Amino acid sequence: MTNETGSSRIYQATSDALLLSGYEIAQKMMAQLRQEIETRMLERNAVAIPDDTYLCEMPKRYTYFHEKFAPLKEALSSQELGECWDAAWAETIPEHVEQHPETWNTVKLLKVARRHGDEAMRVIENARNEGRGSLTFRRKE
């Protein structure tokens, strides 16, 4: 069956209840498949599942415990601290204002820490927390 735009609607004759039930089942299956893919990658300590047809990857992602950067406040000059520090700011979202506190700018801090060498980089490494990014899945072209 095709509609006026020429697209196929294979479920057009299906009742609403059956269609919604099928959708729920498909969502549960997708969640289970995603979980199995992620589990296999974690068990293998892998960031991808190699395949000729599909790109399937979940890259490592790093976050930092900013409170562990405290020793760098002593080691960096006031100019360097200014480069690495983002002031507090507010974001207006419909119906409320969200406050963002002052914080380290990790990208800039990494550049400055590299200039300072091993001791500064040890502070950065001790603050680093390894996690996982989002699962990416698509057919290769």
Is-above-0.75 flag for pTM? no
Mean pLDDT of the chain, nearest integer: 90
Q: How far is CA 99 from CA 56, 84, 90, in A?
A: 37, 20, 5
| C-alpha to C-alpha distance for 45 and 81, rounded to whole angstroms | 36
pLDDT tens-digit profile of 47-100?
999 999 999 999 989 899 999 999 998 899 999 998 998 888 888 888 888 888
Kindly indicate the confidence band of residue 126, based on its pLDDT and cuts at 50, 70 and 90: very high
Q: How far is CA 14 from CA 24, 29, 69, 91, in A?
A: 15, 20, 59, 46
| C-alpha to C-alpha distance for 34 and 99, rounded to whole angstroms | 35
| C-alpha to C-alpha distance for 13 and 10, rounded to whole angstroms | 8
Q: Which residues contact 48 (CB under 8 A, 6 or more apart)?
A: 41, 55, 56, 57, 58
Q: Reduced to 3 states, what is the DSSP secondary structure of residue 19?
A: helix
Half-sphere exposure of 5 (CA within 13 A, CB side): 3
Q: Is 69 exposed, middle or buried (0-12, 13-18, 19+ CB in 10 A)?
A: buried
